[in-house]
């Protein structure tokens, strides 16, 4: 009986030991030894997502991970490559990460396009040494202690990312060696923006570098496929700013994109591909994304609409608006939903912007002038219309009228100038253009066109009269000759 128990115990023991040693031989001997010698790498590796997936040190370094013998384990004959350098690093990573079959074996559904995207990115240029590319996978993800990108300790987690990119982008010496003209102030500026301030305070929802630039597919800002290329920007920003659910906790509007897309600027940019029109960052800055302050709005608009801005600054409105803190251009034109300006804006009718502040009882000086300005520009418009009709009539009658037609261009030019001159809010200056350049020209055109038309009628009726006279003369002559002949016969 005792011997039976002994046998059972012994066989259990054998089972346990063999099980243990099997477990031991399945363990990564590289890790076991490196941990036992207190290697920091092994400590880091313990929290590595690859360690959790039972991936061995040898997946990146090669070698025989079953051997407890150092010589044997780290022998180049067994595929040991030592510490990978340069492009060798990414080659190791993409052995798995660009192979969906391999990734599936580990139960992973992650995308496998990282290297494809990096190959098309600005970062896949050669390094200054020329032997490798600027970034490797480990540049942004580290080599050991790699965790999921959603883990707050990942270098690409939203709160850490600005620092990760800025390792290079804030390093003047490093960046100069690639492109001396590229600014190195992105992080500096970002820290002053609404996005950056929120990010530094632990808000992961505000835009970080990769929200605007992408992560693996980062391109030059001038590349038409870049997320920050002017025509792509509105889309990039609207991923968050048009998502009411995402922006719920901030209590700001989410209509910027839809308003912008329907505005005169949005149509010019997105439909006509007009790169002179502003996109989101033209008004908000690139890295210092803040709403332009009350005072700086006109400066922003004034970078393109120079004349309007200059005239406004010299106008009586300038002081009043400053004092009352009315935003300059925005008060009359709004900002995201700016539409084509028309005469309707001017004057004292219900739709006119002037009526917001001027009435018969309030700010009366401006009221009177607004009314006069409107009627002046209306009369120019109707005079241009009449002049145009007269020119057409004369042309249809085949009259030479190119001089008047040329003048019509001057009149239209005066109309354009007067629309801009509105911003002086000075009746005399406005009248100078509308009357002296505009109305004077239209009255000349009208005069010339009318006299051509008169000429036409003169020629036409003149011909009839002269034919009539000539016929009468011919008849008279005939009768006269006849009479002479008759007299001759009777003689």
Distance CA 136, CA 115 (A): 10
What tokens were used for 469?
């006279």
Question: Scanning residues 273 to 292, which ones bind ligand HEC (CB under 6 A)?
Answer: 274, 276-278, 280-284, 286-287, 289-292
Least gap, CB of 442 to ligand HEC (angstroms): 17
Question: Which range, of 13-21, 363-371, 393-401, 478-486, touches ligand HEC by CB under 6 A?
Answer: 363-371
Q: For ligand HEC, which residue of 140, 270, 384, 449 counts as binding (CB under 6 A)?
A: 140
> Mask of contacts with ligand HEC, 432-471, x by CB under 6 A?
----------------------------------------
Is residue 363 close enough to count as binding ligand HEC by CB under 6 A?
yes
Measuring CA to CA, how many Å separate 23 from each of 29, 36, 76? 11, 17, 26
208 contacts 195 by C-beta, under 8 angstroms:
yes
Distance CA 269, CA 204 (A): 31
239 or 443: whose CB is closer to ligand HEC? 239
132 or 393: whose CB is closer to ligand HEC? 132
Question: Scanning residues 185 to 214, which ones bind ligand HEC (CB under 6 A)?
Answer: 186-187, 190, 194-195, 198, 205-213
Q: 135-143 long-range CB contacts below 8 Å, 24 or more apart?
A: 136/86, 136/87, 136/89, 136/90, 136/93, 137/89, 137/90, 137/93, 137/94, 137/97, 138/89, 138/90, 138/93, 140/164, 140/215, 143/60, 143/89
Distance CA 226, CA 472 (A): 86
What tokens were used for 146?
């790699």
Question: Which range, of 2-10, 46-54, 462-470, 481-489, touches ligand HEC by CB under 6 A?
Answer: 46-54
328 or 448: whose CB is closer to ligand HEC? 328
Q: How many residues bind to ligand HEC according to rule CB under 6 A?
A: 175
Question: Scanning residues 308 to 327, which ones bind ligand HEC (CB under 6 A)?
Answer: 308-309, 312, 316-317, 320, 326-327
Is residue 262 close enough to count as binding ligand HEC by CB under 6 A?
no
421 or 449: whose CB is closer to ligand HEC? 421
CB neighbours of residue 482 within 10 Å: 10
For the chain, report the end-to-end CA distance as a whole number of angstroms: 189
Least gap, CB of 77 to ligand HEC (angstroms): 12
Question: Which range, of 13-21, 358-366, 393-401, 433-441, touches ligand HEC by CB under 6 A?
Answer: 358-366
What tokens were used for 340?
């084509």
76 or 291: whose CB is closer to ligand HEC? 291
Least gap, CB of 467 to ligand HEC (angstroms): 53
Q: For ligand HEC, which residue of 372, 397, 419, 440 counts as binding (CB under 6 A)?
A: 419
Q: For ligand HEC, which residue of 357, 397, 435, 455 counts as binding (CB under 6 A)?
A: 357
Q: How big is the chain, counted in residues?
A: 491
Burial, 411: exposed, middle or buried (Cβ in 10 Å; 0-12, 13-18, 19+)? buried
Q: Is the dihedral of CA 448, 449, 450, 452 positive or negative?
A: positive
Distance CA 68, CA 37 (A): 13
Q: For ligand HEC, which residue of 73, 414, 434, 439 counts as binding (CB under 6 A)?
A: 73
Question: Which range, of 101-109, 384-392, 446-454, 461-469, touches ligand HEC by CB under 6 A?
Answer: 101-109
What tokens were used for 153?
């300790």
Least gap, CB of 257 to ligand HEC (angstroms): 5
Question: Which range, of 303-311, 383-391, 452-460, 461-469, touches ligand HEC by CB under 6 A?
Answer: 303-311
426 contacts 313 by C-beta, under 8 angstroms:
no
- Cα-Cα-Cα-Cα torsion 186, 191, 196, 199, nearest 10 degrees, comes to 120
29 contacts 66 by C-beta, under 8 angstroms:
yes
Measuring CA to CA, how many Å separate 99 from each of 50, 103, 114, 124, 202? 16, 6, 11, 20, 35
370 contacts 354 by C-beta, under 8 angstroms:
yes
11 or 22: whose CB is closer to ligand HEC? 22
> Mask of contacts with ligand HEC, 12-31, x by CB under 6 A?
-----------------xxx
> Mask of contacts with ligand HEC, 371-400, x by CB under 6 A?
--x---x-----------------------
311 contacts 421 by C-beta, under 8 angstroms:
yes
354 contacts 347 by C-beta, under 8 angstroms:
yes
Is residue 415 close enough to count as binding ligand HEC by CB under 6 A?
no
Q: How far is C-alpha 309 from the geometric centre of its chain's CA atoms?
A: 23
413 or 455: whose CB is closer to ligand HEC? 413
Q: For ligand HEC, which residue of 91, 343, 435, 455 counts as binding (CB under 6 A)?
A: 343
């Amino acid at each position: 009986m005792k011997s039976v128990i002994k046998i059972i115990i012994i066989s259990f023991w054998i089972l346990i030991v063999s099980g243990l040693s099997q477990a031991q031989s399945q363990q990564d001997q590289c890790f076991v030894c490196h941990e036992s010698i207190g290697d920091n790498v092994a400590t880091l590796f313990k929290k590595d997502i690859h360690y959790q997936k039972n991936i061995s040190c040898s997946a990146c370094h090669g070698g025989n991970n079953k051997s407890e013998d150092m010589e044997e384990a780290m022998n180049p004959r067994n595929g040991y490559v030592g510490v990978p350098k340069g492009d060798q690093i990414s080659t190791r990573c993409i052995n798995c990460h660009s192979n969906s079959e391999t990734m599936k074996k580990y139960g992973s559904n992650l995308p496998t396009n990282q290297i494809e995207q990096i190959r098309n990115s600005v970062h896949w240029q050669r390094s200054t040494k020329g032997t490798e590319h600027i970034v490797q996978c480990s540049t942004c993800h580290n080599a050991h202690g790699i965790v999921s990108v959603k883990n707050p300790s990942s270098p690409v987690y939203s709160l850490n990312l600005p620092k990760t990119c800025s390792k290079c982008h804030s390093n003047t010496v490093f960046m100069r060696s690639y492109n001396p003209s590229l600014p190195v102030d992105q992080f500096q500026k970002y820290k002053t923006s609404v996005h950056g301030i929120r990010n530094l305070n632990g808000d992961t929802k505000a835009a970080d570098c990769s929200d605007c630039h992408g992560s693996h597919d980062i391109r030059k800002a001038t590349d038409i496929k870049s997320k920050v290329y002017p025509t792509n920007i509105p889309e990039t920003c609207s991923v968050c700013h048009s998502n009411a659910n995402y922006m719920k906790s901030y209590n700001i509007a989410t209509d910027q994109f839809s308003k912008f897309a329907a505005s005169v600027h949005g149509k010019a940019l997105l439909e006509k591909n007009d790169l002179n029109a502003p996109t989101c960052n033209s008004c908000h800055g690139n890295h210092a994304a803040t709403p332009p302050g009350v005072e700086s709005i006109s400066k922003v608009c004034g970078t393109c609409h120079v004349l309007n801005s200059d005239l406004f600054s010299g106008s009586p409105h300038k002081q009043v608006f400053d004092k009352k803190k009315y935003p300059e251009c925005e008060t009359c034109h709004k900002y995201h939903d700016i539409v084509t300006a028309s005469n309707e804006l001017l004057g004292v009718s219900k739709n006119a912007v002037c009526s917001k502040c001027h009435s018969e009882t309030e700010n009366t000086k401006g009221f009177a002038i607004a009314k006069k300005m409107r009627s002046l520009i209306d009369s120019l418009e109707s005079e241009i219309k009449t002049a145009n009709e007269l020119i057409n009539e004369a042309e249809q009658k085949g009259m030479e009228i190119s001089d008047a037609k040329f003048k019509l261009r001057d009149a239209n030019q005066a109309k354009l100038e007067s629309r801009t001159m509105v911003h002086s809010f000075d009746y005399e200056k406005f009248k100078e253009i509308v009357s002296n350049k505009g109305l004077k020209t239209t009255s000349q055109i009208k005069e010339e066109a009318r006299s051509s038309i008169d000429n036409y009628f003169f020629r036409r009726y003149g011909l009839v009269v002269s034919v009539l006279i000539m016929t009468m003369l011919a008849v008279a002559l005939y009768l006269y000759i006849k009479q002479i002949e008759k007299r001759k016969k009777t003689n």
